[in-house]
Structure 1
C-alpha cells in the first residue's frame, strides 16, 4: 500500500523540513525575558487574498495580512495539515443568524473535538471560519458525522474513522447556492475480520452548513462482492483499496441536475475509477434530460443515483495508472454536453494520461471516451491536476493539465529537475488543440502546476483568468496569474504570466512561508465581480508556534491607501490620436473625394478547393478621382474562419468582430492624403487553414474605403471580392491482418491437443485516409463477431470482449481518435443488419476463397458478421476529433483473443475456420453530406485471418450404416461386372501357346470338347 495514498502525505510533510533561527525584535514568536523561545515544529498557514478592484488585479497586497489560528493548535501530536483543502461558502448564518461568509478549511490529520470522537485517532476535521474576523474563536469545527462508529444494518460496512483524512478533499459547485462535498479517502471499512478495506467516504450537505446537523454519507464502493474478485488468497483487489474521495468535484448540468464526481484511484489494482453521484428522477431514470422544465423538483431525489465505472473494461488503462487522481468537468464541444475530465498520472508508460469522457448508462460499462491525451516525459505526472475553464469567451472550455514533476531539458545543466509544466489545450474548431505550454519561472523543484484554479475575470476584460501554484519554488512557494484572451491565453510578452506572487513578497516574518500555493480556491467575495483567491502554505515555527490563516484586508478599511493606483499591465498607459490638416479642398474648404476600390486575387484560380492551399493573396487598388482624401483607411471584412496572415507592415490594427461570423481589419494607407489621380496598391495574404469543409460555397472579402472613420464617397468605395469554394473529399479505408494465416496444434484423437493453449491472439489493422485535400471528420465503425449460436441453442463466446483493445495513431503520435464499444445493442441490431447488407453489397470487399490456401470448402467454417447467420456481433465506434487530411491517416489496431474450445464445440466436420472483422468509415463533418466523387475509394474494408491445423489430418468418425452400405454396393457392383464379362466372352477368349503360336480349339466326339491337344507343329508365320 505504499502507493499514491502516501504520496500526498510525503509531499506535504516535505514542507516541514526547515531551519531553526532566533531573531530579535517583536515578532509573532514566543519571547520570555528577552531570550528567544521557539518551537522546532513547522505549521501550516492559509492565505486568502481579496482582489478588491481593478487597481489590485496586479498588486495583491502582501503587507497587511489578517491571521486566523487553528483552533486545535498544539493539541495534536503532529501537524494537522490545517488548510490542506479550502472552499468558500456564502449566504450562511452566523450565531446571531446574520448573513455570513465562511471559509471552509480542511485539516485531514486533526483530532476531532466532538466528545463522541474522543477515542478516534486523527480522523480529520473541517472548520468553518467566519471571514473578516481574525480571532481564534471564529474558526469552529463543522459537524460532518457526529457518530464515532456506525455498523450498517445491511452489514455492508463498519466504520473505521481512525486516520481517515476527513477534509482531504472538498468541493462546492456554487459558493452562494450549491451543495458542499467533504471527503476522507482513507476511511476504512472494518466489516471483515481479517482486512480493513480502505474504500474511502464522502459526505454532502445542502448549502446551509451552519446548523449542527450531520452531512449525508456516500459510500459508493462498499459492496462485499466487489472488494476482492476471486478467492481471498489469489484474488484481485477491486474496491478493497479504492480510496474514493481522493479527488472530488461538483458539477451542474444544464437541466439543473447536480453531480458529485469522485476520484477513486485505487480501484481494480490501482487502475483507478471515476464515480458519478447524481440527482435521480423516477420519471427519468436514465438521466437523459427531459423536455419538460424542471420547475417542480419534489420528484428529484438528491444524489440518489450512483455509477461506478468498471475499470477492468477501460482498455486504455492498466493497473497502477491511478485514474481518478484528479477530476473536473466542462462543456467542450458544440453539442453543449457536459463532459468529464480525469487524470491518470502513471498511465501511458509512466508519462501520464488524461481522459475526456462521458458515462454510459449502467453499472457494468466502459466510459464513453471522447478524447485521450498523453504526457510527453517519463515521470512528469501528467494529469496530477486538471482544470476546465472557458478562457476565450466562446462558451466552450479550454483544458489545462498539470505535470508538476516535468523536468526541463539538460541544456540547463544540473540546475534542472521538477520545474513543472502546465499543458494548455485551446478549444478551436470544436477540437482541443495543444498550444504552447506554461512554465512559470522555470525554477528548479518548483513543481509548477501542482494546483490550479479559475479566478473569474480579475482584470475586467471579459475573459476568465487562472491561478497556478508552484508550492516548492525556492523552497517557499509561489503562485502565478495568467489572463484569458479572445484567441488564446493572453501571455505576457516577456514572462508569459502577468503576476507572480512569491512567499518572499510578504512582510517579515511572513516571508518565511513554506509551501505557498499547495491549495487554491477562488470566488467573488463581496458581489463586486472580483474574486477572492485562497492560498495554502506552511510557516517557519521560529516565528510563530500556531498554524494560522491569513487574509488580505478589504480596501475600504482605513488601513489601506484608498487612492493608491496600479496600472493594468494589459492596457496601454498612453492615448494616441491623429489630427488631420486639410488643404487643396477647393473654395468651400471641404474635400470631396471620389474613391474607386478594386480588388483581385493574385492567383488565376477559377475556384478554390478547400484544403488545397494554406494561403491566398489578393491585391487592393484604390484610385482617387476627386479632391485629396485624408486619413483614408481600408476596412477589410472577412469570414471569422479566416484572418490576414500577412499585411503591409504596421498599417493594420487588430481585428474586431462585426458579428459572430465576421471580423474586420482596419488598415491605413501608406500615403496621407491620397491626392487626385493617385493610385495606392496594397497586397494582403489570407490564411485559409481554418476554412471549414462543406461550409459556404463562396469566399467573400469585402473591401471598403473610409475617410476619417466614416464611409468614403466615390464611384466605387466598396468592392466585393469573391472566390468560389469547393469541397473535395474522398475517404478510403483499408484493412488487413497482421498474420493472415495462423495455425493451431491438434492430435489425431482431438481437434485441440490436451494441455495446449486453447486461445489464439489475432490482430487486425485498418487505415483510414483522405485522398483529396478537403479535411473531414470521420467516424469508423468496426464490426466483429463475439459469439455464435450452437446447434443446441446455446450462445458460445468465440472472442473475449475484454480482450479486445483498439488503439488509434496518426502522423506524429497518438491520434485524437477514441474507440469505444457501442453498448446501445438494443437499438443497434438494425444498424448492424444494415452494416452487413452494406458490406455484402460493396463490390470492393471480398473474402479470399478457401482454396487460396488449398482448403476444402466443406471443411472450412466462416466466423464473421456477413456470411455467418448464427453469429452475434458487436460494434466498436471510433470517433475522430480533428480533421482527417491527406498527410495524417488514422491507423486503428484491433487485438482480440479467440476461444478455440468454444469454436470447436459447434463445428462438426470443419477444422479450418476463417475469422473476419469489417469496418466502414462514415463522414460526420461536414454534416451536409458532401458527395464523394464518382468511383470513389472504398468506404468499407474487411480484415481476415485464416486459422489452419498443424500436424496430421484429423480422423473423422463414419457411421456404420455407411460402411455396410458401401460393402454391399461393392459386392453387387463386382457381381454385375463378372456377369457382363462372361456374356461378352471374356472368359472364352483364345490363348496363345508358350512359343507364341495360336492354340487351336479341339473337341471330343462325346461333348464336342477335346481334352487333348494337337501336337503337330504349325508353320511359323
Structure 2
C-alpha cells in the first residue's frame, strides 16, 4: 500500500495536476484591451520563464506597479539545498524581462542532529498567487513538515507567504501547521491549494485535505496575520482566525476548499464539494448544501473551476461552474470528452436557479471549463462577460440575457501562434 507520505504525495500530485496531467505550461499570455470586442489577439504581451518550471501555472495582476505576477511552481531559486521549490515572478507590463520575488530565501529548517523539520523541495510554491492592492499572497500547497512528535513521517500541510507593503516585507501564514497531525487532523491539509482575498482584503485559504479530505476554509485579516508572525516560532496561532470545523464521516473525501470564488455581499462565497458532486455556499459562518447529486455527470469534475459574476445585470452575482471532463456522444455514437460549463442565476439571497441550456465544449479532449474568469462588460452592452479555457469568451446578449448568447473563440484567431503552446488557456485572470 505504501507509506502515509507516499500516499499523500500521490494525492497531491493528482490534485495539483488535476485534469490536465499532460500539461506543461511554459507561457503566460495576456491580451491587451482595445476597441471592437475589446480583445485584440494581435496586440499582446508575452512573458516566458525557465524551461520546465511550469511558468504560467498561475497568473495575477499586480496593480500597485502595473505588473503581472506569474507563478512557476517547479522553478529553482537561490534557496540553499532546495530542488524545484517554486517561485513567483514579477513581470513589468511594458517589459519582456521578469524577476523572481524573494518571498522566502531560507532553506529547510533542521534540528541539531540534522533531522529535517520541513521539506521545501517540490513544494509547488507559486501554484497559487493572489493580489489585493499592496498585498500579495503566494502559496506552496505541497509543503511538508515533520511533526514535533518525532514521528517517522511528515505532514503535507502547505504554507503561504504574505506581503502587505508592495513586495518589501514578507510573513509566513501556515494555519494548517498545527499539532493536529495526520489525516484525521490537518496533516494533509495542503493549505493554499486555493486562496483569495475578499473584496475588503481578508485572506481566505482552502485546505482540501483536512479531516480525511473533508477539506476546510480558513480566513484571517492581513493585520491579524502580520501581528501573529514571529520568525523564531514554528507553530503560530492567529488571533481572530476563523475556519470551518470537521464534519460527520459521510463528508470524508469531499475536498472542500479545493476551489472557491467570491460574489457580492448577499452571495458571498461559493465553493464545491468535489467528490460529493454538489456545491456549497459558505459565508464564513453559514454552510448550506444545495442541488441534488443526480444533476451532474459522475466523473465530470464538476466544480473544477468556479467564477461569480452578474451575468444578467440584475444586481446579483451569478455562479458559473466548470466540468472539464464532461462526456457526450458524438454523431458516431461514441463518447467524447468535451467539457461543460454550467450557469446558475441568483434569484435571491442563497437562491440559485440553473440556466438552460448549459454550454458544451466544442472540441474533443479540449477540457472546456478547466478555468473560468469574469471579464466585466467587454463589448459595452450593459452585461458582463465570462471567459472559459480554450479560450472562450462568453458575452451576454442584451435581449436574451437568460439564454446562452454569442461565443467568441479567441483560440481560433491565435491558432497559428499557439500551435506549439500546449496548455494555452490553463489559467485565466481578469484585472479587478
- Give TM-score, length-normalised by structure 2: 0.85
Matching of residue 186 in structure 1 with residue 142 in structure 2: yes
Distance 1:507 1:5, change over 3 A: closer
Task: Name the structure 2 match of 1:262.
Answer: 205
2:89 to 115, 127, 130: 127
Shift of 1:308: 2.6
Distance 1:217 1:151, change over 3 A: farther
User: Residues 553-585 of structure 1: CA distance to partner in whole angstroms, max 9, x if unpaired?
Assistant: xxxxxxxxxxxxxxxxxxxxxxxxxxxxxxxxx
Alignment of 1:407-446 (within 5 A): 407-408=327-328, 410=329, 412-413=331-332, 415-430=334-349, 431-446=351-366
- Give the secondary structure class of the aligned counterpart of 2:130: strand
Q: Could you say which structure has the larger radius of gyration?
A: 1
User: Residues 53-73 of structure 1: CA distance to partner in whole angstroms, max 9, x if unpaired?
Assistant: 3x143x5224x5544331x34
**Aligned partners of 2:383, 2:110: CA distance in 1, in Å?**
50
Matching of residue 204 in structure 1 with residue 151 in structure 2: no
**Aligned partners of 1:150, 1:462: CA distance in 2, in Å?**
54
Distance 1:442 1:416, change over 3 A: farther
**Aligned partners of 1:56, 1:357: CA distance in 2, in Å?**
35
Task: Name the structure 1 match of 2:184.
Answer: 237
**Paired residue total:** 402
Distance 1:15 1:160, change over 3 A: closer
- Give the secondary structure class of the aligned counterpart of 1:248: strand
Alignment of 1:135-174 (within 5 A): 138-150=97-109, 158-173=117-132
1:480 to 392, 406, 414: 392
**Contact kept? 1:483, 1:489, Cα under 8 Å:** no
- Give the secondary structure class of the aligned counterpart of 2:255: coil
User: Residues 428-466 of structure 1: CA distance to partner in whole angstroms, max 9, x if unpaired?
Assistant: 244211111432543221211110011121111232211
Distance 1:369 1:510, change over 3 A: closer
User: Residues 910-954 of structure 1: CA distance to partner in whole angstroms, max 9, x if unpaired?
Assistant: xxxxxxxxxxxxxxxxxxxxxxxxxxxxxxxxxxxxxxxxxxxxx
**Contact kept? 1:505, 1:511, Cα under 8 Å:** no
Matching of residue 505 in structure 1 with residue 388 in structure 2: no
Distance 1:179 1:488, change over 3 A: farther
Give the superposed CA RMSD: 2.7
- Give the secondary structure class of the aligned counterpart of 1:523: coil
2:430 to 508, 519, 522: 522
User: Residues 963-987 of structure 1: CA distance to partner in whole angstroms, max 9, x if unpaired?
Assistant: xxxxxxxxxxxxxxxxxxxxxxxxx
- Give TM-score, length-normalised by structure 1: 0.37
**Contact kept? 2:69, 2:90, Cα under 8 Å:** yes
**Contact kept? 1:265, 1:325, Cα under 8 Å:** yes
Alignment of 1:969-984 (within 5 A): none
User: Residues 836-858 of structure 1: CA distance to partner in whole angstroms, max 9, x if unpaired?
Assistant: xxxxxxxxxxxxxxxxxxxxxxx
**Contact kept? 2:134, 2:166, Cα under 8 Å:** no
Distance 1:414 1:338, change over 3 A: closer
Matching of residue 309 in structure 1 with residue 244 in structure 2: yes
Task: Name the structure 2 match of 1:8.
Answer: 16
2:173 to 210, 218, 225: 218
Distance 1:185 1:489, change over 3 A: farther
**Aligned partners of 2:368, 2:424: CA distance in 1, in Å?**
11
**Aligned partners of 2:282, 2:416: CA distance in 1, in Å?**
47
1:111 to 76, 95, 99: 76
User: Residues 188-239 of structure 1: CA distance to partner in whole angstroms, max 9, x if unpaired?
Assistant: 1124441110000112112512x4x4x2211111221x114xxxxxxx5321
Shift of 1:280: 6.7
Alignment of 1:857-1006 (within 5 A): none
Distance 1:398 1:151, change over 3 A: farther
**Aligned partners of 1:147, 1:448: CA distance in 2, in Å?**
39
**Contact kept? 2:164, 2:222, Cα under 8 Å:** no
- Give the secondary structure class of the aligned counterpart of 2:308: strand
User: Residues 398-437 of structure 1: CA distance to partner in whole angstroms, max 9, x if unpaired?
Assistant: 01111111112x3644553321111111122442111114
